[in-house]
Amino acid sequence: MFKIQTLLSALINRRRTLERSGGLYNFLCMMSEGFRDEQTAKKRSNEENEDSAERAQDAKRIKAEGEQAEDEKKYPKKKVALLLAYSGKGYYGMQRNPGTTQFRTIEDDLVTALIKSGCIPENHGDEMKKMSFQRCARTDKGVSAAGQVVSLKVRLIEDIIEKINGHLPPQIKVLGLKRVTQSFNSKNNCDARTYSYMLPTVAFSPKDYDTGNIAAFRLEPETLQRANRLFALYKGTHNFHNFTSQKAPSDPSARRYITEMSCGEPFINNNTEFAVITVRGQSFMMHQIRKMIGLVIAVIKGYAKEEVLERSWGQEKVDVPKAPGLGLVLERVHFDRYNKRFGGDGLHERLEWESEVEAIKAFKEAHIYPTIVETECQEGSMVSWMSTLPVHDFEETATVTQDNKDQKQDNADVGNNAD
């Protein structure tokens, strides 16, 4: 009897244990299922949020594309030529340097203004080929322009010039716009370029002249005549391999055609006498104009003999000094062949900008000339450069070392592409 009761008691305890274990098991199962449900809900929520964000992004993109398509429908892209003026001080030349943000160029600010004004899509700023952008002349660091021309495709929005200028700094300004042919390229269609170079006349003083007070110097008529006789020697086609860097005498591209070069009558500005040299040529290489002027100054001052000009066009390497870039200005670019072919077709205008002459003059008087004069009087770049002339050897053939010095200077002037 005792054994039967003991056995029944053990069975009852076992049942209770199993029930308790089963309850715990069921509880754990419930907890596990609840956790899985929570994780599933979170995952579903994240996926819904991602889908929502993606849908919102797609909607935004579709809207932007729609607006862009609407803009392009309302304002179809057309090929134009923009007349541009700028003061180059503080800029590393005209042309953009992709991937180099610390060296600001004129085109950096121009492209930003084109985007902000709505003339071009934002993605065209990174890939300028998309708008068929081309500048007529690449200008050096610090060089200014009164008549630069760029060609590109833009949306012809209302008040386009005013809107572009509204996003440009005061020292850069679009002065004119004209429709051109779809194949027009401002660089390739340009027949000639005219530059001016404004300098203090003390540059033509004798080498023993005291430059402590440049305001006291006055250029003699005989010296001006001699300078113009020397400048006239540049006219025609010559091999200018000595007037740029890293150009071999045998390189056909070193031959350039000059049609005009002369120095005008001196004038007084800010109590200092200045003069303007004008040069027109088919095209110019990097630093060419500044070296053409630098060599004539060296002859006038007595550091070199006149025969050095003829020798510089020969095969040997000649040490040619490079005048400062401050006074150089791109005055005008010429499209004679384009004007002759398309200027009278009834569809396109001649690229001559007669109606913008006063605006060009006003910009030069407000932004270019004052900058040149004030900077020269305050910093004395010409006088400082003149002090380096004695280190040049004009008698012997220049060594490779001198060419390397020029190249190091060129590399330091990042953005200096061409005069």
Write down the domain spans for the chain: 76-179, 192-412
Active-site residue, from 108, 140, 319, 406: 140
pLDDT reported for residue 102: 76
Predicted TM-score (pTM) of the model is 0.78
Neighbours of 158 (CB within 10 A): 7
Are 177 and 82 within 8 A, CB to CB?
Answer: yes
pLDDT of residue 38: 66
CATH fold match for the domains 76-179 and 192-412: yes
Q: From residue 353, how far is each of 13, 93, 155, 159, 160 by CA, in Å?
A: 110, 24, 21, 18, 17
For the domain bounded by 192-412, which CATH number is listed? Answer: 3.30.70.660
Question: Residue 4: what pLDDT?
Answer: 55
Residue 40 confidence (pLDDT): 65
The rounded distance, in Å, linking the Cα atoms of 351 and 333 is 9
76-179 CATH fold:
Alpha-Beta Plaits (3.30.70)
What is the reported pLDDT for 416?
36
Distance CA 109, CA 338 (A): 29
Mean pLDDT by 10 residues, the chain (419 residues): 56 55 52 61 66 65 54 76 95 82 88 93 81 90 94 94 97 96 95 97 94 92 98 97 93 96 96 97 95 98 95 94 95 96 86 95 96 93 95 74 50 42
Active site residue 140: yes
Instruction: Report the binding-site residues for substrate.
Output: 195
> Would you list which residues are annotated within the binding site?
195
